[in-house]
């Protein structure tokens, strides 16, 4: 399992096949997304000090991590539902 924003990789059509070669097995990408306001509220609720800079400069943070689905085959997961 690989977790992260991986923003650069989402725009590389051959990233899953490269990852599959590196790992020596099949790769299935699950793309989890939620509305920016949901993400902001979850970061605030989490109360982790590493999130303070994100919350204080929210507009720049959300622009940097602008939501756009991967350019390759993936499973879309709606992360806005209750946990």
pTM over 0.85, yes/no: no
- Predicted local distance difference test score (pLDDT) of residue 83: 60
Q: Kindly tell me if the per-residue pLDDT of 57 is higher than 90.
A: yes
- Predicted local distance difference test score (pLDDT) of residue 69: 87
Using one digit for the tens of pLDDT, what is the confidence trace for 28-52? 999 998 899 999 999 999 999 999 9
Question: Where are the chain's structural domains?
Answer: 9-78
CA-CA distance, 16 to 5, in Å (whole number)? 15
Q: Which residue has the tokens 């919350």?
A: 55
Q: Kindly tell me if the per-residue pLDDT of 3 is higher than 90.
A: no
Q: Which residues lie across from 78 on neighbouring strands?
A: 33
Per-residue 3-state assignment (H helix, E strand, C coil) for the chain: CCCCCCCCHHHCCCHHHHHHHHHCCCCCCEEEECCHHHHHHHHHHHCCHHHHHHHHCHHHHHHHCCCCCCCCCCEEEECCCCC
């Amino acid at each position: 399992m690989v977790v992260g924003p991986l923003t650069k990789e989402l725009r590389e059509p051959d990233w899953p096949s490269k990852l599959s070669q590196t790992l020596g097995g099949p790769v299935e990408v699950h793309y989890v997304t939620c509305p920016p306001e949901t993400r902001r509220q979850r970061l605030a609720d989490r109360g982790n000090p590493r999130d303070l800079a994100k919350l204080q400069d929210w507009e720049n943070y959300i622009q940097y991590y602008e939501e756009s689905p991967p350019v390759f085959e993936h499973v879309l997961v709606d992360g806005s539902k209750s946990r």
